């Protein structure tokens, strides 16, 4: 049985379309769990209607108070569900009819290779679309100038390459999610780091969802090699810098949670990376190059080095 976790909040515009795309999946061996985070629009009434229509398939709940963001809502659901397979689902996307099937097929390939007791995560590419589902890019991987093959822990410390809305993970990985950490940037980034540290990550190198861009996305997709992105970086230097600073804090948090389970080599990597903020400018760069923790894509690497070489301490 597969559990699909959908964290909802003020999603009345698109959530029905997303749920319909789940109901049309070629593999129907799943249950959909929706937890609403105190929506102030009609989202909760919409999901109530679906739960009433499909009582054996769709299960809804509501947080007592707003959790403060989708990442907290998702993490809470991830703590509650330790099922055979778990998939994460955003409220505003549209899944291709074979998304569950392709993810499950890849998962079973990994299980055959590594065993079912190995923590495993599968993710796919995305088709980037606008609010009306018009195609912006056929591949998120190409559009964002990233590489899904960069999934070693040292590479995932700097940025996530596995979009949560495409992820499936197994029970062995679910059981490693034991508590919400003191600090984490995004739930799917934390999940990918955990899978990389203790198990394996598999990729379906084709899109399985329409990833809707509508101005309200928490993360969103950007054309990294475009002039527009370079302009974005120049105008949002502090925001980019904050992302890099947060990666140091998250690494420290990850070490605190899993130190007893990590290898000595992994502990050394996490200690070095999370200590970068207190280093001199030259030593910061030396550490990044030594441990090969440069970001994905040339523009990001340039931005990362510029920030590491900035005057004074990198804030943590």
pLDDT surpasses 90 at 86: yes
Q: How confident is the model at residue 299 (pLDDT cuts 50, 70, 90)?
A: confident
Q: Return phi, psi of residue 61, to 5°.
A: -150, 175
Least confident interval from 65-69, 227-231, 254-258: 227-231
Q: How confident is the model at residue 81 (pLDDT cuts 50, 70, 90)?
A: very high
How high is the pLDDT of residue 313?
Answer: 52
Map out the domains of the chain with their CATH numbers. Answer: 2-213 (3.90.550.10), 227-308 (no CATH)
Q: How confident is the model at residue 239 (pLDDT cuts 50, 70, 90)?
A: confident
Two structure tokens written together for 266: 């992994």
Q: How confident is the model at residue 227 (pLDDT cuts 50, 70, 90)?
A: low
Q: What is the mean pLDDT of the chain?
A: 92
How high is the pLDDT of residue 301?
Answer: 83
The arithmetic mean of pLDDT across residues 190-197, rounded, is: 98
pLDDT digits (tens, 9 = 90+) for 105-164: 999 999 999 999 999 999 999 999 999 999 999 999 999 888 999 999 999 999 999 999
The arithmetic mean of pLDDT across residues 208-212, rounded, is: 97
The arithmetic mean of pLDDT across residues 226-232, rounded, is: 60
Q: How confident is the model at residue 311 (pLDDT cuts 50, 70, 90)?
A: low
How high is the pLDDT of residue 144?
Answer: 86
- pLDDT-above-90 percentage for the chain: 81
How high is the pLDDT of residue 74?
Answer: 98
How high is the pLDDT of residue 300?
Answer: 81
pLDDT surpasses 90 at 303: no
The arithmetic mean of pLDDT across residues 187-191, rounded, is: 98
Q: Return phi, psi of residue 94, to 5°.
A: -135, 125
Q: Decide: pTM greater than 0.85.
A: yes
How high is the pLDDT of residue 145?
Answer: 84
Cα–chain-centroid distance for residue 97? 21
Residue 89 contacts residue 165 (beta carbons within 8 Å): yes
Two structure tokens written together for 200: 């394996």
Cα–chain-centroid distance for residue 125? 12
State the first-to-last Cα distance of the chain, in angstroms, to the nearest integer. 42
Q: How confident is the model at residue 297 (pLDDT cuts 50, 70, 90)?
A: confident
Two structure tokens written together for 225: 């090699």
The arithmetic mean of pLDDT across residues 187-193, rounded, is: 98
The arithmetic mean of pLDDT across residues 161-176, rounded, is: 97
pLDDT surpasses 80 at 234: no
How high is the pLDDT of residue 80?
Answer: 96
The arithmetic mean of pLDDT across residues 33-56, rounded, is: 98
pLDDT surpasses 50 at 218: no
Task: Give the list of residues 6+ apart from residue 188 with CB closer than 8 angstroms, or none.
Answer: 74, 88, 160, 162, 163, 164, 165, 167
The arithmetic mean of pLDDT across residues 203-219, rounded, is: 82
pLDDT surpasses 90 at 298: no
């Amino acid at each position: 049985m597969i559990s699909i976790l959908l964290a909802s909040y003020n999603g009345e515009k698109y959530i029905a379309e997303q749920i319909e795309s789940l109901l049309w999946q070629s593999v129907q061996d799943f249950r959909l769990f929706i937890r609403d985070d105190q929506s102030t629009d009609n989202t909760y009434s919409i999901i109530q209607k679906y739960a009433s229509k499909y009582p054996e398939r769709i299960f809804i709940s509501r947080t007592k108070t707003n959790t403060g963001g989708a990442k907290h809502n998702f993490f809470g659901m991830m703590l509650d569900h330790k099922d055979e397979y778990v998939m994460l689902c955003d409220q505003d996307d549209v899944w291709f009819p074979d998304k569950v099937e392709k993810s499950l097929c890849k998962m079973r390939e990994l299980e055959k290779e590594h065993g079912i007791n190995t923590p495993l995560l599968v993710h796919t590419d995305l088709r980037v679309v606008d609010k009306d589902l018009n195609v912006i890019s056929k591949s998120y991987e190409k559009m964002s100038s990233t590489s899904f093959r960069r999934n070693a822990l040292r590479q995932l410390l700097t940025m996530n390459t596995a979009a949560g809305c495409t992820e499936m993970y197994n029970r062995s990985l679910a059981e490693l999610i034991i508590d919400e950490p003191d600090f984490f940037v995004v739930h799917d980034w934390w999940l990918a780091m955990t899978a990389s540290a203790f198990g394996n990550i598999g990729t379906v190198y084709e899109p399985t969802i329409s990833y809707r861009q509508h101005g309200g996305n928490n993360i969103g997709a950007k054309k990294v090699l475009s002039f527009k992105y370079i302009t974005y970086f120049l105008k949002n230097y502090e925001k980019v810098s904050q992302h890099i600073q947060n990666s140091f804090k998250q690494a420290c948090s990850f070490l605190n949670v899993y130190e007893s389970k990590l290898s000595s080599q992994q502990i050394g990597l996490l200690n070095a990376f999370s200590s970068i903020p207190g280093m001199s400018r030259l030593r910061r760069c030396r550490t990044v190059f030594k441990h090969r923790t440069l970001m994905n894509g040339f523009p990001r690497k340039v931005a990362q080095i510029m920030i590491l070489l900035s005057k004074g301490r990198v804030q943590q």
